[in-house]
Structure 1
Amino acid sequence: MDASLASESRPRSAAPPFPSTALESISFAIAGSGGSGVMSAGNWLLEAAARSGIYGLMVKTMGPQIRGGEAAALVRLATTQLESLDDAFDVMLAIDWQNVHRFADEIPLRQGGLLVCDADGGEIPAAFAASGARVLSLPLKKMAKASGSWINMLALGITGALAGLPVEALEAAVRQGWTRGEEALQVNFRALREGMAAAGEHAPAARSMAPEPGRRWLVSGNEGAGYGAIRGGVRFVAAYPITPATEMLEWMAPALVQAGGSLLQAEDELASINMIIGSSFGGVPSLTATAGPGLSLMTEGIGLAVAAEVPIVVVDVMRGGPSTGIPAKSEQSDLSFAVGGLHGDAPRLVLAPSSISDCIATTQWAVELAEVLQSPALLLSDQFMGQSRAIVDPPRLPEPGGKRLLAPADTPSYQRYQDTPSGVSPMAIPGTPGNTYTADGLEHTETGVPSSQAADHARQLDKRSRKLLQHDYGSRWADIEGDGPCAVITFGSAAGPAREAVKRAAAQGVPVRLVVLRLIAPLQAAAMAQALEGVQQVMVVEQNHEGQLLRYLRGVADLPGRPAGFHRPGPLPLRPADICSALLAWAQAKEETR
């Protein structure tokens, strides 16, 4: 690269932008305005890491416009599997500064990190300038214009070089899926190499992370949930597009066809929920995917599925609320609605995957539980898991199983809602000879005849509750790790930073037990009590404003000590350092009271 094309807005420091020793992980933020290609650059960087035998995680963050506004790809690479972003970023590359200052709280730069920006891009926003990061100014737009390439190829070359990734892996990542012709590809390959040269000349590169051999999966939570649903038996999906669940529907549309099923885009969420109830009533396992606003509209339909005992799965990819809220940011604030948001006594299953990888197995389990228990199952994913991509080890997936109990033809004196010991009654598929019944939202007798009698109401309420409470869910209800007098209870995407915080606390001599809930309702109270045996203090970690999980657990479980909550709303992610500090402070306070 011609040295005259590069300049630094600050004197070059002898210190490297990040530690020159081998790193456990390195974090990048690639930011710019909509259309600048930051998400493509982030995806290519992650793909190249996967090809190089390195683990990684990429989180998308966007402005309220969703499309066309500011955007950033947040990428963390490591030699071990990742479930959380780090506390701060080692490198930030800003293609331009158009509204990127809005990400200042989400992209804290590490002291001594590196800030790469366009020399002609104007003043660096104060929040980033005050970080203490070393600044490298390069004429990115001029370089791209001179070569006729995309500016995000320069960004990919710079970040790839700083991550120590080989050029062959970066080029292979770009080539995959390229559709614009070989000549254009070679032009952009030259830009990629130019970016790598610029990084090598003007910024000390990190030592390459030692690759780990083995096969990897590169998957998003939305893709994983879609795959798990099909493995569980779903063959019909009706849904209305909504951020951040839409990618799940886009992935499932062609995949369902290959599996012999179909996806229908309904006119709204009310139609979606009623369509899948009808499909499941007809014998086809069915699912819809939505976010908080859509879930609110589905309330009456979910209640109908409870009363009529029709198995359905509703995947809620949670986002900031209430109302339209913050569409493209993550928040675990639909929990209270999921466990208690229906009118009447309406027991239902509520599950939450514990990681991007776990979206596959837990969605499969949700489908199977819904079918076996003839109940609605609400699966709580969120924007962080749904729209993020991760390099993971191939998950060990259970064999598909769990079918609904069907009534054989010509069942004598068929009672659709028979009050059985298990609470589960044989279900007759429409058209089954000799078995007819009424199915609607009215309370009913065991045969399905509408009834307002107190005895019938109590019998059916007991039946619908009993089938969920008495079922044997096995050990999958939660992941229980570590041991110690303090326990952290968490769920969903909060599990990643909590798990990392627990490991950091243990390294500083504070052992902590971790309980990651997968089955939230019905809560396995007896199993929870056993998991917390010997624990003196509980901290509940979650990403919402009011501590919804803590409030729920206080109502349905006997938690030891005086349970504390570590909860904060989105859009800021939970960070391992903050949780670890809270754990260390608890340990210190406990020591001082002795």
Structure 2
Amino acid sequence: MTASSSISIAIVGSGGAGALTTVNLLLEAASAAGWHGLFTRTLGPQIRGGEAAGLLRLATHPVDCLPDQFDLIIGIDWLNAHRFGSEIKAGPQTLVISDPRGGEPPPMVTESGARVVEIEMKEIAKSISGGRPNMIALGIASRLLGFGVEQVFALIAKRLGGKGTSAMEASRAGIKAGFEAAKGVRFEAQLEKPVPGEARRWLLSGNEAAALGAIRGGVRFAAAYPITPATEILEWLSPNLAKVGGVLLQAEDELAAINMIIGASYGGTPSLTATSGPGLSLMIEAIGLATAAEIPIVVIDVMRGGPSTGIPTKSEQTDLNIAIYGLHGDAPHLVLAPQSVSDSLFTTQWATYLAEALQSPAIVLSDQFMGQSRAAIERPADVAFIGARSVATSISGGYKRYAMAPGGISAMALPGMPGGQYTADGLTHTERGIPTSGAADHLAQLDKRRDKLERFNYGDHWASIEGTGDIAIVTWGSLTGAAREAAARAAADGLNVRLIAPRLLSPVQPERFAAALEGVARLLVVEQTHSGQFLRYLRAHYDLPAKTRALNRPGPLPITAGEIHRAIIDWR
């Protein structure tokens, strides 16, 4: 056996087989033992039911991406597993545990050279009253990964304690039976011992982290219509907003949701909605209204495969264009993108702060991979970004809601404030908010809304910039983790590679980006789109080196660290 700093597991099963539950339990066990981990899922297009696989990477260090290949694959059954087989890479070093009664293994197994060991998980489960094959799989995985059976029992007691004695006993018996069934199975890959930590790691998804970041940033009202893969944001906010005196309202559709949060924010309450690509399309006109009326709102877009309904359960980065350019007219607004599960908390909190401080809509571009992945992470640092809106405190004379104030931020009167009446709508207006068609007024207000965003000091948070060298990887969003790992592999090969990952996509930062590119001769742009939206965005706004290449493809296949690494090495 060889100890490794990282090991990866996939558990596959049809709908109801419990594959995802099993992997989630493994993550919890590993986290309790002190390891880091990342758990994501791959599903069919039906959203609920059907084929499913839980993908888990455990490590002694933080991990933000999946592996190039999996070390262990457990097939509770193989029904329709071929539909996402290309997402689960196996090789000669892979151990596959297969139930001979679970159907024929898919090509991802049979054509990979992987070593296959058959264990009759379904038959073992039948011998246990109330037994389930996924508990057998949990016992097998626990033994192969080096977890003690009592360690897993303690976790089951915590998770299933409310389901009654019979469920507990059946689960314990299944785990023990799986543990025994794996006795003697040779598994070469083993995790190095975890580095001891003072505090227990957090377990949360990117969607939950974003919701927590919004609350920390001051959001106290949310309205949204459920949509995959953003719904978990609403599910988490519903009870937790109430704990801080806030309210969540499930709207009848996306049009209602966006207008509700505009109204709440107009009344003085920091507000948020969460959606995915189809919902964002419906919200665009209202986001333009918030831009023109200078009403701060936060819109989290958890991107999925498109266009139209696309692939609701798969990840893609193809809402970049609509988020930045989708509003009609000249409508400057904020667009930000978190870079990991952990960073979803910080970026959403920062977005809320910026929206409030700059009186502007902020769109946060997460995606299915990041939003629905669950990670064992270090406790995120508390940061002091709490929205501080400029509110009029006393008004004398004619109130100018849209006055040409220093920095472009004019004080906002709240409803009911004496003398603070003004019209907040989408018409071009004067400083007092009176509708006008005058060219001078139109230009003045366009300049005001542009300048307040462009002149604001965003500090070092605008991007992650790491490493040196004349080759740079530029990427964004959830691909940052894979790019960071690729750069580390290149460094191990003796090749210094720089990583540049913008967190602030709009407004653009030409001076900062030029400084980040100083000395770069070759640039690799990595993105998960079909048309190269990110590369086109970079070329539109920044001066790029003459030697610039793209590594891009649409979802659902993620771009791995190995692919990025190979692209760099091949370009030496």
Band the TM-score falls in, shorter-chain normalisation: over 0.9
Displacement of 1:206 = 4.1
CA deviation vs aligned residue, 1:552-578 (integer Å, no higher than 9, x gap): 011111122332211111100111111
Counterpart of 1:591 in structure 2 is none
Q: Is the 8 A contact 1:311 1:376 kept in 2?
A: yes
Counterpart of 2:151 in structure 1 is 169
Displacement of 1:239 = 0.2
Counterpart of 1:294 in structure 2 is 279
Counterpart of 2:322 in structure 1 is 337
Matched, 1:189 2:149: no
Structural mapping, 1:60-71, within 5 Å? 60-71=41-52
Query: Secondary structure of the residue that 1:112 maps to in structure 2?
Result: coil
Q: Is the 8 A contact 1:42 1:75 kept in 2?
A: yes
Displacement of 1:126 = 3.2
Query: Which of 417, 423, 432 is 1:447 aligned to?
Result: 432
Displacement of 1:232 = 0.2
Amino acid at match of 2:276: A
Of 105-114 and 342-351, more deviation after overlay is shown by 105-114
Displacement of 1:125 = 2.3
Matched, 1:210 2:201: no
Q: Is the 8 A contact 2:71 2:189 kept in 1?
A: no
Q: Is the 8 A contact 1:64 1:328 kept in 2?
A: yes
Q: Is the 8 A contact 2:6 2:191 kept in 1?
A: no
Query: Secondary structure of the residue that 2:10 maps to in structure 1?
Result: strand
Counterpart of 1:431 in structure 2 is 416
CA deviation vs aligned residue, 1:502-541 (integer Å, no higher than 9, x gap): 1001111111110111111011110111111111121111
Counterpart of 1:125 in structure 2 is 106
Change in Cα spacing, 1:407 to 1:22, as seen in structure 2 (3 Å) is same
Displacement of 1:403 = 0.4
CA deviation vs aligned residue, 1:433-459 (integer Å, no higher than 9, x gap): 111111101110110000111111101
Matched, 1:55 2:36: yes
* Number of aligned residues: 568
Counterpart of 2:20 in structure 1 is 39
CA–CA separation in structure 2 for the residues paired with 1:169 and 1:311: 48
Structural mapping, 1:78-477, within 5 Å? 78-148=59-129, 149-178=131-160, 179-204=162-187, 206-214=189-197, 215=199, 216-477=201-462
Q: Is the 8 A contact 2:92 2:113 kept in 1?
A: yes
CA–CA separation in structure 1 for the residues paired with 2:488 and 2:550: 19
CA–CA separation in structure 2 for the residues paired with 1:276 and 1:304: 12
Instruction: State, as a whole percentage, how many aligned pairs show the same letter.
Output: 56
Q: Is the 8 A contact 2:7 2:190 kept in 1?
A: no
CA–CA separation in structure 2 for the residues paired with 1:490 and 1:205: 34
Query: Secondary structure of the residue that 1:476 maps to in structure 2?
Result: helix
Q: Is the 8 A contact 2:352 2:362 kept in 1?
A: yes
CA–CA separation in structure 2 for the residues paired with 1:205 and 1:583: 30
Amino acid at match of 1:131: S
CA–CA separation in structure 2 for the residues paired with 1:469 and 1:173: 51
Gaps in structure 2 of 5+ consecutive residues: none
Q: Is the 8 A contact 1:165 1:208 kept in 2?
A: no
Of 191-200 and 51-60, more deviation after overlay is shown by 191-200
Counterpart of 2:5 in structure 1 is 24
Matched, 1:574 2:559: yes
Query: Secondary structure of the residue that 1:385 maps to in structure 2?
Result: helix
Q: Is the 8 A contact 2:349 2:386 kept in 1?
A: no
Amino acid at match of 1:114: L
CA–CA separation in structure 2 for the residues paired with 1:356 and 1:290: 17
CA–CA separation in structure 2 for the residues paired with 1:400 and 1:487: 30
Displacement of 1:203 = 3.3
CA–CA separation in structure 2 for the residues paired with 1:316 and 1:290: 5
Q: Is the 8 A contact 1:217 1:393 kept in 2?
A: yes
CA–CA separation in structure 1 for the residues paired with 2:544 and 2:322: 22
Displacement of 1:205 = 6.1
CA–CA separation in structure 1 for the residues paired with 2:399 and 2:487: 54
Query: Secondary structure of the residue that 2:475 maps to in structure 1?
Result: strand
Change in Cα spacing, 1:199 to 1:421, as seen in structure 2 (3 Å) is same
Q: TM-score, normalised by structure 2?
A: 0.98
Q: Is the 8 A contact 2:525 2:535 kept in 1?
A: yes
The runs of 4+ residues in structure 1 deviating greater than 4 Å are none
Counterpart of 2:497 in structure 1 is 512
CA–CA separation in structure 2 for the residues paired with 1:401 and 1:240: 26
Q: Is the 8 A contact 1:350 1:380 kept in 2?
A: yes
Counterpart of 2:472 in structure 1 is 487
Displacement of 1:168 = 2.8
Query: Secondary structure of the residue that 1:379 maps to in structure 2?
Result: strand
Q: Is the 8 A contact 1:22 1:208 kept in 2?
A: yes
CA–CA separation in structure 2 for the residues paired with 1:126 and 1:568: 22
CA–CA separation in structure 2 for the residues paired with 1:125 and 1:512: 38
Amino acid at match of 1:85: L
Counterpart of 1:523 in structure 2 is 508
Q: Is the 8 A contact 2:305 2:315 kept in 1?
A: yes
Of 559-568 and 318-327, more deviation after overlay is shown by 559-568
Gaps in structure 1 of 5+ consecutive residues: 1-19, 588-594
CA–CA separation in structure 2 for the residues paired with 1:170 and 1:75: 17
Query: Secondary structure of the residue that 2:547 maps to in structure 1?
Result: coil
Q: Is the 8 A contact 2:470 2:521 kept in 1?
A: yes
Amino acid at match of 1:29: A
CA–CA separation in structure 2 for the residues paired with 1:541 and 1:352: 15
RMSD: 1.1
Query: Secondary structure of the residue that 1:58 maps to in structure 2?
Result: strand
Query: Secondary structure of the residue that 1:219 maps to in structure 2?
Result: strand
Query: Secondary structure of the residue that 2:478 maps to in structure 1?
Result: helix
CA–CA separation in structure 2 for the residues paired with 1:368 and 1:170: 42
Of 194-203 and 243-252, more deviation after overlay is shown by 194-203
Q: TM-score, normalised by structure 1?
A: 0.94
Counterpart of 1:6 in structure 2 is none
Amino acid at match of 1:500: E
